[in-house]
Amino acid sequence: MQLQDLLYGVSIKSLTDKPNQEVASLAFDSRQVKPDTLFFAIKGTAVDGHQYIEQTITAGATVVVCETLPTDLTEGVTYVEVQNSSVALGIVASNFYGNPSSKLKIIGITGTNGKTTIATLLFQLFRELGYNVGLISTVQNHINDDIIPATHTTPNPIALNSLLQDMVQAKCEYGFMEVSSHAVVQHRIAGLTFAGGVFSNITHDHLDFHKTFDSYLKAKKEFFDNLPKSSFALTNADDKNGMVMLQNTKASKKTYALKQMADFKAKIIENKFSGLNLNVDDIDVFFKMVGSFNAYNLLAAYGTAILLGEDKLNVLTILSTLAGAEGRFDYTVSKQGIIGIVDYAHTPDAVQNVLSTIANIRKGTEQVITVLGCGGDRDKTKRPIMAQVASDWSDKVILTSDNPRTENPQQIIAEMEKGVSPTNQRKTLSILDRKEAIKTACHIAKPGDIILVAGKGHEKYQEINGVRHHFDDKEVLTEQLNLIN
Ligand SMILES: CC(=O)N[C@H]1[C@@H](OP(=O)(O)OP(=O)(O)OC[C@H]2O[C@@H](n3ccc(=O)[nH]c3=O)[C@H](O)[C@@H]2O)O[C@H](CO)[C@@H](O)[C@@H]1O[C@H](C)C(=O)N[C@@H](C)C(=O)N[C@H](CCC(=O)O)C(=O)O
Ligand SMILES: Nc1ncnc2c1ncn2[C@@H]1O[C@H](COP(=O)(O)OP(=O)(O)OP(=O)(O)O)[C@@H](O)[C@H]1O
Ligand SMILES: N[C@H](CCC[C@H](N)C(=O)O)C(=O)O
Ligand SMILES: [Mg+2]
């Protein structure tokens, strides 16, 4: 493709050479550069991509998009100076793959918790309604029934637009995708055309990256600020910041809520381990999914489907049968009647939601035993709070390791322990090895007790120092529960 066509829509400060240069491929990582590649020099969180420009030219890059021109320019190479290389990457990647987002109806879902659940429900719902559909999510990506492994919640612009192009080729009409706050700040969604945006909620997470709650909130809001006039913006009116998200959007503003007036309204009639009984827009429905937080997720999916023109009864009938995403409130009962739940709660709010759901449903005499860890190289300030919430809401807590990544897992546990109040210390123990921790929970449990294994949900690995070792909470929990006589 010619450079001038790729640069359509990019705000250019200067261009040194041939705008008709042919470009064979795009790369933002020097290690991916081949002959005739357009290389984007990006200032990242760890290094500045500008330092690799020379290296990429040696490897065959013929065009370089950068924010600062190198002092020595190489002859035969076209340099494009831009204000922001990440924004340029989004727009160019979109052009390179034929602007696939404008050929699909893309709905972006953002918020601290619930993105995967809402996106997955919408994917499953629209498949059942008979459409060709794509899904981009933390657990996995889908093009109809084909599964494409996910590396991020929201992929980088090249992977993202390539995936969207594949969806167009598979004749998908809809694409449901998670929009993480990292993706907004790093402009991974620049250049995309959205048909709608959905907000779930905002609570404490990712302060390592965003630094303050206010800038985390601004990142989520920016997604809505940039939606086009032709799209809709559906928000959770019960969330303290739900309406803030829509303050500056051009999109048509819509709301859903359980507690106040809204365009889409539901009431919880009953909340049991077997599911939720909800009144949605004056229709009583029994859903498979558990927990009041899932009432919000179901309502968000319902509202989105109605805004996309689907029939109310059809939508509710299908939604009532869906189980949502893997590893979210995933429930099993052992032969002895011990209840095991695997959940992806990895924020203070999610831990509290899952445990308060269990507290509301339990009969009262049984113990709740929680196994929980916190990820390394992620927000450190949520660690003591997660441990505090878990110990406040459980009869026994086992603090353990999650994905330590490059951190010392013992140190992460020590930071969690600081959140456990002196009165709660009696019921809290720490076991570094996650398998041992789950095993211990199973040994302590008596028939009727509830074990919650939180934080890793669908993940099939434990990441230690850059290596992913096989680890599956559900597998370990089921195996250990089966070993008890
Ligand atoms: C903190 C973060 O988001 N980092 C992402 C970011 O990397 P970075 O800015 O740190 O990159 P860097 O290492 O500083 O490098 C800067 C530039 O130099 C380039 N480079 C670097 C080295 C080299 O030898 N040559 C070279 O060209 C890099 O490719 C990059 O373009 O850009 C990379 C490319 O897109 C991402 O892979 C990387 O995700 C890391 C692996 C990650 O773990 N991200 C997580 C936190 C994340 O994004 N999570 C959200 C979900 C959160 C949620 O669900 O709530 C997600 O959307 O997945
Ligand atoms: N609407 C909600 N409100 C609060 N907590 C929720 C909600 N939905 C799910 N949760 C909790 O958050 C966990 C993660 O849910 P989900 O994977 O849907 O969120 P996510 O926003 O995609 O997370 P991530 O940021 O990791 O992509 C669930 O396992 C559950 O504990
Ligand atoms: N999307 C989240 C997932 C956290 C899951 C948890 N198991 C961890 O590793 O911290 C993140 O990247 O922060
Ligand atoms: Mg997700």
pLDDT, mean of residues 10-24: 90
> From the CA of 292, which ligand is nearest?
2
pLDDT, mean of residues 215-236: 96
Ligand 3 center to 407 CA (angstroms): 14
Comparing 215 with 459, which gets the higher pLDDT? Answer: 459
Ligand 1 center to 184 CA (angstroms): 13
pLDDT, mean of residues 277-286: 96
Q: Does domain 3-96 have CATH number 3.40.1390.10?
A: yes
DSSP 11-49: -EEEE-S-TT-B--EEESSGGG--TTEEEE--B-SS-BG
Distance from CA of residue 129 to its chain's centroid?
24
pLDDT of residue 378: 97
DSSP 61-121: EEEEEESS--SSPPTT-EEEEES-HHHHHHHHHHHHTT-GGGGSEEEEEESSSSHHHHHHH
The single residue listed with the structure tokens 């939720």 is 276
Are 71 and 47 in contact by the 8 Å Cβ rule? The answer is: no
Q: At what angle do helices 157-169 and 85-96 cross, to 10 degrees?
A: 20
**Is this prediction's pTM over 0.80?**
yes
Q: Does domain 330-484 have CATH number 3.20.20.70?
A: no
Kindly list the protein residues that place their beta carbon closer than 5 angstroms to ligand 4, a single-atom ion. 115-116, 138, 153
For residue 237, give both structure tokens.
Answer: 């009116």
Are 302 and 310 in contact by the 8 Å Cβ rule? The answer is: no
19 confidence band (pLDDT: 50, 70, 90): confident
Query: In sequence order, which residues have a C-beta less than 8 Å from that of residue 430 and are 6 or more positions away?
Result: 398, 399, 400, 413, 416, 417
17 confidence band (pLDDT: 50, 70, 90): confident
Give me the phi and psi of 422, to 5 degrees please: -55, -40
SS (H, E, C) 362-384: CCCCCCEEEEECCCCCCCCCHHH
Q: Kindly report, residue by residue over 326-338, the tens digit of the pLDDT.
A: 999 998 999 999 9
Are 27 and 62 in contact by the 8 Å Cβ rule? The answer is: no
Any ligand 3 atom below 6 A from CB of 378: yes
- Output the residue whose Cα is nearest ligand 2's atom 18: 114
ipTM for the whole complex:
0.96
pLDDT, mean of residues 356-360: 92
- Output the residue whose Cα is nearest ligand 1's atom 35: 156
pLDDT of residue 128: 98
- Residue 365 labelled as part of a binding site: no
Of the options 1.20.970.10, 2.60.40.10, 3.90.79.10, 3.40.1190.10, the CATH number for the domain spanning 98-321: 3.40.1190.10
- Output the residue whose Cα is nearest ligand 2's atom 9: 114
Ligand 2 center to 118 CA (angstroms): 9
Burial of 363 (0-12, 13-18, 19+ CB in 10 A): exposed
pLDDT, mean of residues 427-454: 97
Any ligand 1 atom below 6 A from CB of 29: yes
pLDDT of residue 365: 85
The beta strands (E) that lie in 83-227 are given as 105-110, 133-136, 140-143, 146-149, 174-178, 196-199
What is the Cα gyration radius of the chain?
24
pLDDT of residue 485: 64
Domain boundaries, the chain: 3-96, 98-321, 330-484
DSSP 253-315: EEEEESSS--SEEEEEEEEETTEEEEEETTEEEEES--SHHHHHHHHHHHHHHHHTT--HHHH
pLDDT of residue 179: 98
pLDDT of residue 18: 76
pLDDT of residue 26: 98
pLDDT of residue 357: 93
Ligand 3 center to 375 CA (angstroms): 6
Q: How far apart are CA 205 and CA 216, in angstroms?
A: 8
Burial 137-153 (b: 16+ CB within 10 A, else e): bbbbbbbbeeeeebeeb
Q: Kindly report, residue by residue over 95-144, the tens digit of the pLDDT.
A: 999 999 999 999 999 999 999 999 999 999 999 999 999 999 999 999 99
Pocket test for ligand 2, best of 109, 112, 115, 117 (most atoms within 8 A of CB): 117
Whether residue 371 is predicted with pLDDT greater than 90 in this model: the reply is yes
Mean pLDDT of the chain: 96
Whether residue 236 is predicted with pLDDT greater than 80 in this model: the reply is yes
For residue 268, give both structure tokens.
Answer: 């919880």
Query: In sequence order, which residues have a C-beta less than 8 Å from that of residue 282 and are 6 or more positions away?
Result: none
Atom number of ligand 2 nearest to Cα 297: 1
Q: Kindly report, residue by residue over 148-203, the tens digit of the pLDDT.
A: 999 999 999 999 999 999 999 999 999 999 999 999 999 999 999 999 999 999 98
pLDDT of residue 205: 85
pLDDT of residue 204: 86
Nearest CA to 7 among 35, 33, 40, 29? 40
pLDDT of residue 362: 82
